[in-house]
Amino acid sequence: MSVFGRAAREPDRQEYLGLSHILCVSKIGLWLRVEGRVQGVGFRAHVRDLAEGLQLDGEVWNTRDRAVEMNVYGDSALVEDFALTVRNGPGHVERLVSQPIPGDAPQPGFHVGATR
């Protein structure tokens, strides 16, 4: 109960995100390359679901040399969480390489792209 006699309500995630944007949010872009057994195991769908859950923008795609690459854009703390978590997807990640990329997401949302 609150001091006013009503049940206290926990702020939802959107309210927390709104407050963080007012205080200080740093936006970043990050390119990642994941090597190992990551094609044919649902890895891109896992990446998309993870990114959408964190409200990140970007794209993920297979490469012709059997790796998976992605560009991810959003709040720096959320992109960092994404980068730490992405290796826990299906398949077997042997190597993860990342590099900052400049600019904003070319389009809103997160998309699974064609093989490049």
Q: How far is CA 50 from the centre of its chain?
A: 6
Give per-residue pLDDT as tens, 14-60. 444 444 444 556 899 999 999 999 999 999 999 999 999 999 999 99
Report d(CA 56, CA 11) in Å as an integer.
21
pTM of the model: 0.77
Contact, 80 vs 32, CB < 8 A?
no
DSSP for 12-66, please give it: PHHHHHHHHHHH---EEEEEEEEEEE-SSSSHHHHHHHHHHHTT-EEEEEE-TTS
